[in-house]
A and B are shown apart, each in its own frame.
Chain A
Amino acid sequence: MAILVIAEHDNASLKGATLNTVAAAQAIGGDIELLVAGTDCGAAAEAAAKVAGVAKVLVADNAAYAHGLAENLGLLIAELGKNYSHILAPATTGGKNVLPRAAALLDVQAISDITGIESADTFQRPIYAGNVIATVQSTDAIKVITVRGTAFDAVAAEGGSASVETVSAAHDAGISSFVGEELAKSDRPELTSAKIVISGGRGMQNGDNFELLYKVADKLGAAVGASRAAVDAGFVPNDMQVGQTGKIVAPDMYVAVGISGAIQHLAGMKDSKVIVAINKDEEAPIFQVADYGLVADLFDAVPELDSKL
């Protein structure tokens, strides 16, 4: 049994979610091979070869694989994937974009966003915004799976010594092209891997007020997130959204500021170890999941918190 893990990377380095996905592959059991598909992705491939527990790295370095275009990558993964018992990718926007496409080419019903592994064909995954945990068994010959990173502890990024093999297959479907991107630049940790996350909701009132959260975040080394309401209102960009359809986080501490706690938001953060809620409405549902609740006006409480840290 061999498992193909699709690495998430930016050609220069591996993204952290790859390490969680390798951990899930280890839990399934079998030889683990990591596919690094990109353009000028030698550095990422080198990093991949060092990941603990990886037997082999497949490098597909071709212009067609730039920017993760699913039309091309899907063809590559479907071709390579035929030889494996499992194909795993992180349940990031990259993994969610390409893996179902590859699965359909293989005539496989993919399994999204697993949070637990019972055996090589039986997995747990949340449905209904995480209000129900389903245990499902795949009857397909190849299991095609996306993995929720927060549910598996990352393997070590160093210590492995995998062999590296070049894949020459160049699949260019020729039906899509990359136009451009606007990536958020931040010195703060990545939301999905940060130890502490501070999120703001509609209660923040505007984007400028998020500055209050950034100050506290910088003292704590925290990432800053937001509820859907805050993103929809245009306070902050979409990549900060925590929730059912945004990012799933499970940090050591999650601080919800001015967030009421809709089901869809809770789905993205209720596996955090310690939850702190600051909200002036003492009836807000967020208090039902918070370990520490403070009923207060955030515009008083957050600056005070900042001064006391």
Chain B
Amino acid sequence: MKILVAVKRVVDYNVKVRAKADGTGADTANAKMSINPFCEIAVEEAVRLKEKGVATEIVAISIGAKQSQEQIRTALALGADRGILVETDTDLEPLAVAKCLKAIVDKETPDLVILGKQSIDGDNNQTGQMLGALAGMPQGTFASEVNVAEGKVKVTREIDGGLQTVALNLPAIVTTDLRLNEPRYASLPNIMKAKKKPLETVTPADLGVDTATRVKLLKVAPPAERQAGIKVADVAELVEKLKNEAKVI
């Protein structure tokens, strides 16, 4: 079976992003960029399915500026077979991203599409579900376990009260949660090999996708800052403060 994996270039998870002073956006200039952590988990899951003999081909897709090639190369180094970059300098919204992916799904006809459950920049948690709707495919979101058998995929999902398992007809969408797997590191030989793997570039216009912004960003601001409080000397003082000063117990 063929698996599509979507990967997004985002500011590295260790970087503390701040609002620009003029309120026009987040200040990400010169920030370290990485593959979105949930997307990395998606790539790893696809690679494991290939190693188990379930999958035969993995196509990594990224949608973004030219530099997103780096994240596709990362996915190729981890074990994806080829890449597709949907190149655009516009910061696409999840619905437009889902429409681009839908166009690629129509062309590639994968059996499984694996995406991260959210990207750590926009924190939207929408793209996989939207792709499911547009492509008429079932979705296993927030996955902590994925098993493909007998023409279906069983997905165990992390939900508020615990875990839920659903069975989905193929082709299906899976979005990854943190505990699905622990991604491997790419080895140097694999990084070298990845440079030779095919990478095709298309544009949203080639795919017939309208990328007009639906939700306008009016301004950004820093969150209300918390002031660091005091250090207490011992448990007795802590209990005293909580009782008499904070009055929370």
- Which partner residue on chain B sits nearest A177 by CB separation? B167
Whether B246 lies near A274 (C-beta < 8 A) is: yes
Given A109-B95, A253-B242, A128 and B164 contact (CB-CB distance below 8 Å): no
Contact in complex: B215, A133 (CB < 8 Å): no
A62 lies within 8 A of chain B by Cβ = no
Q: How far, in angstroms, from A164 to B249 measured CA to CA in the complex?
A: 42
The DSSP consensus for interface residues of chain A is mixed
Residue pair B214, A308 in contact (C-beta under 8 Å):
no
Q: Are the CB atoms of A245 and B117 closer together than 8 Å?
A: yes
A218 in the interface (beta carbon within 8 A): no
**Pairwise interchain contact B162-A305, C-beta atoms closer than 8 A:** no
CB distance from B112 to the nearest CB of A (A): 14
In this assembly, does B159 line the interface, its C-beta being within 8 Å of a C-beta of chain A?
Answer: yes
Q: Which residues of B contact A290 (CB under 8 A)?
A: 228-229
A131 to B159, CA, bound (A): 25
Contact of A101 among B13, B118, B133, B242 (CB under 8 A): B133
The verdict on A292 contacting B242 (CB below 8 Å), with A134-B220, A136-B218 known, is yes
For residue B222, which residues in chain A have a CB less than 8 angstroms away from its CB?
Answer: 131-133
Cβ-closest chain B residue relative to A129: B120
Q: Are A112 and B218 in contact (CB under 8 A)?
A: no
> Which of A121-146 touch B at CB < 8 Å?
122, 126-140
Contacts of B133 in A (CB 8 A): 74, 100-105
Distance of A220 from chain B, by nearest CB (Å)? 6
Given A110-B126, A291-B229, the answer on whether A245 and B217 have CB atoms closer than 8 Å is: no
Nearest CB of B to A219, in Å:
9
With a CB–CB cut-off of 8 A, which chain B residues contact A276? 238, 242
Would A292 and B230 be within 8 Å (CB), given that A112-B126, A128-B26, A253-B249 are in contact? yes
CB distance from A57 to the nearest CB of B (A): 23
A194 contacts chain B at the CB level, 8 A cutoff: no
Say yes or no: is B55 at the interface (Cβ < 8 Å to chain A): no
Within 8 A of A (CB), among B158-175: 158-169, 172
User: On chain A, which size bracket covers the interface?
Assistant: 35 or more
Are B228's CB and A287's CB within 8 A?
Answer: yes
Residue among B13, B159, B177, B213 with max Cβ neighbours from chain A (10 Å):
B159
Contacting residues, chain A, for B13 (C-beta < 8 A): 263-264
List B contacts of A26 (CB < 8 A): none
The chain B residue with its CB closest to the CB of A71 is: B138
Closest A-chain residue to B98, C-beta based? Answer: A104
Q: How far is the CA of A204 from the CA of B167 in the complex (A)?
A: 36
In the bound assembly, the distance between CA atoms of A97 and B164 in angstroms comes to: 12
Assess whether A134 is in contact with B166, with CB atoms less than 8 Å apart: no
With the chains together, A205 CA to B167 CA distance in Å? 36
A153 interface residue, CB < 8 Å from B?
no
Given A70-B129, A140-B214, A252-B248, verify A100-B94 contact (CB < 8 Å). yes
Contact of A173 among B38, B126, B129, B138 (CB under 8 A): B138
Q: Are B215 and A239 in contact (CB under 8 A)?
A: no
For the A-B complex with A104-B130, A183-B163, A232-B178 known, give 17 more contacts whose Cβ atoms are closer than 8 Å.
Answer: A70-B139, A92-B160, A93-B141, A112-B124, A126-B123, A131-B18, A132-B222, A134-B220, A138-B214, A178-B164, A238-B177, A238-B179, A245-B177, A253-B249, A292-B238, A305-B238, A308-B235
B contacts, CB < 8 Å to A: 11, 13, 16-19, 26, 38, 93-96, 98, 117-118, 120-127, 129-134, 136-139, 141-142, 144, 154, 157-169, 172, 177-179, 213-223, 226, 228-232, 234-236, 238-239, 241-242, 246, 248-249
Q: Can you list 26 contacts pairing A with B, beta carbon distance less than 8 Å?
A: A70-B129, A71-B138, A93-B159, A94-B160, A101-B129, A103-B95, A104-B132, A112-B124, A128-B26, A129-B123, A132-B222, A132-B223, A134-B217, A137-B216, A175-B172, A178-B164, A180-B164, A181-B161, A231-B179, A238-B158, A289-B228, A292-B229, A292-B238, A293-B229, A294-B232, A304-B235
